[in-house]
């Protein structure tokens, strides 16, 4: 896949004090869904706003389709759409006028048929003559997506697209994002909901304190940093762990009936068969076995915690 977005050493400091972005390097591939994860104030929105031209960054370079976004702002901005985090809309405009206005801003001639298809796709067509102030929060968020799509962008930035929307609408939004991606739109989203990144993204970056601390494919990341646990419930309680079993480093619960064994997913050969044989040889009778895998959320929390500890040490 070719690279559509290249970010090199981008730095941004607010009021000469707060370093929001610290030498950010990132590349986004054409056609992927890329999730940018990070806690509040990590620099996610500043990064998106810098790419879209909403914020001036201090140093470094950003290229879209190999064109510098400052020198070639006309060409690069035409292919980019942005859905902001907050519901930034004018209250007294109608959906129809507002979406057509957005299309015009991006230098596109009117195309009512296209705008109609976007509104229909986002279930907004019936409300096209409604004023924006009359819409629910979820509808407003759809309008923001319609506005971002009005000029047929090839890259779409979604800054917290499902913040404060209900579960049903969130699933709807995910479907919209997937559909767009199937049509060839490259999607870059920031989110607090790790579940969202887990559901949608091909690749994930984790940003903390203005620095990218990790970029990887979601599956690889989960395999590399994820942990799997096996919980073995015994029929009878176990008094002591024998020398033979001690190598598995079991955690034993209070009832002394549940043994928990954790192992890294990146391990080529797990020792599960051997472990079960050893348990059998020790005369232990198994009642039940459960497995559990760490989610992206747990990986994210672990990484942020490690990174914060490192920052404190430095």
Q: How many residues does the chain have?
A: 314
Residue 112 makes contact with other proteins by CB under 8 A: no
Q: Does 52 bind other proteins (CB under 8 A)?
A: yes
Minimum CB separation of residue 201 from other proteins in Å reads: 23
Three-state SS sequence of the chain: CCEEEEEEEEEEEECCCEEEEEEEEEEEECCCEEEEECCCCCCHHHHHHHHHCCCCCCEEEEEECCEECCCCHHHHHHCEEEECCCCCCCCCCEHHHHHHHHHHHCCCCCCHHHHHHHHHHCCCHHHCCCEHHHCCHHHHHHHHHHHHHCCCCCEEEEECCCCCCCHHHHHHHHHHHHHHHHCCCEEEEEECCHHHHHHHCCEEEEEECCEEEEEEEHHHHHHHHCEEEEEEEECCCCCCCCHHHHCCCCEECCCCCEEEEEEECCCCCCCHHHHHHHHHHCCCCEEEEEEEECCHHHHHHHHHHHHHHHHHHC
Interaction between residue 108 and other proteins (CB under 8 A) = yes
Selected from 54, 70, 289, 311, the binder of other proteins by CB under 8 A is: 54
Q: Does 137 bind other proteins (CB under 8 A)?
A: no
By CB under 8 A, residue 283 contacts other proteins: no
97 is an interface residue for other proteins by CB under 8 A:
yes
> Shortest Cβ distance from residue 218 to other proteins (Å)?
28
Cα–Cα nearest to 158, from 86, 105, 73: 86
Strands 211-217 and 258-264: unpaired
- CB 124 to other proteins: min, Å: 17
The whole-angstrom separation of Cα 77 and Cα 73 is 6
CB of 54 to other proteins, least distance (A): 5
- Binder among 42, 82, 145, 176 for other proteins (CB under 8 A): 82
In angstroms, what is the minimal distance from the CB of 200 to other proteins? 23
Q: Which is nearer to other proteins, 52 or 176 (CB)?
A: 52
Binding-site string for other proteins from residue 1 to residue 30, where x marks contact by CB under 8 A and - marks none = -------------x----------------
**Number of residues forming the site for other proteins (CB under 8 A):** 33
Residue 61 touching other proteins (CB under 8 A): no
Judged by beta carbon, residue 112 or residue 220, the one nearer other proteins is 112
Which residue's CB is nearer to other proteins, number 77 or number 170? 77
CB 296 within 8 A of CB 218: yes
**Of 77, 170, 218, 261, which one interacts with other proteins (CB under 8 A)?**
77
* Residue with smaller CB distance to other proteins, 88 or 264: 88
Instruction: Pick between residue 141 and residue 147 the one whose CB is nearest to other proteins.
Output: 147
Q: Which of 41, 73, 133, 309 binds other proteins (CB under 8 A)?
A: 73
Q: Give residues in contact with other proteins (CB under 8 A).
A: 14, 49, 52-56, 73-78, 80, 82, 84, 86, 88-92, 97, 101-109, 147
């Amino acid at each position: 896949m070719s690279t559509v977005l290249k970010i090199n050493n981008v730095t941004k400091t607010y009021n000469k004090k707060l370093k929001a972005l610290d030498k950010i390097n990132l590349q986004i591939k054409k056609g992927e869904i890329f999730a940018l994860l990070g806690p509040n104030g990590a620099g996610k929105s500043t990064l998106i706003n810098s790419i879209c031209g909403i914020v001036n960054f201090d140093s470094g370079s950003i290229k879209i389709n190999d064109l510098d976004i400052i020198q070639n702002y006309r060409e690069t901005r035409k292919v980019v759409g942005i859905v902001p985090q907050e519901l930034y809309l004018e209250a007294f405009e109608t959906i129809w006028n507002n979406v057509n206005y957005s299309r015009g801003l991006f230098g596109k001639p009117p195309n009512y048929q296209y705008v109609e298809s976007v509104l229909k796709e986002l279930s907004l067509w019936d409300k096209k003559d409604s004023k924006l102030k009359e819409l629910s929060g979820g509808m407003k968020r759809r309008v923001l997506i319609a506005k971002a799509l009005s000029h047929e962008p090839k890259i779409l930035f979604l800054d917290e697209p499902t913040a404060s929307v209900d579960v049903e609408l969130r699933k709807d939004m995910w479907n919209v994002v997937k559909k767009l991606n199937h049509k060839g739109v490259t999607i870059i989203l920031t989110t607090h909901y790790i579940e969202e990144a887990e559901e949608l993204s091909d690749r994930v970056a984790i940003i903390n304190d203005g620095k990218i601390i990790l970029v990887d494919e979601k599956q690889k990341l989960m395999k590399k940093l994820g942990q799997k646990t096996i919980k073995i419930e015994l029929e009878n309680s176990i008094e002591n762990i024998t020398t033979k079993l001690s190598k598995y480093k079991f955690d034993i619960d209070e009832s002394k009936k549940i043994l928990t064994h954790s192992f890294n997913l990146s391990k080529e050969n797990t020792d599960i068969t051997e472990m079960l044989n050893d348990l059998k040889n020790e005369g232990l009778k198994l009642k039940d076995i459960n497995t559990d895998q760490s989610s992206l959320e747990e990986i994210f929390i672990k990484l942020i915690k490690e990174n914060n500890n490192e920052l404190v040490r430095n």
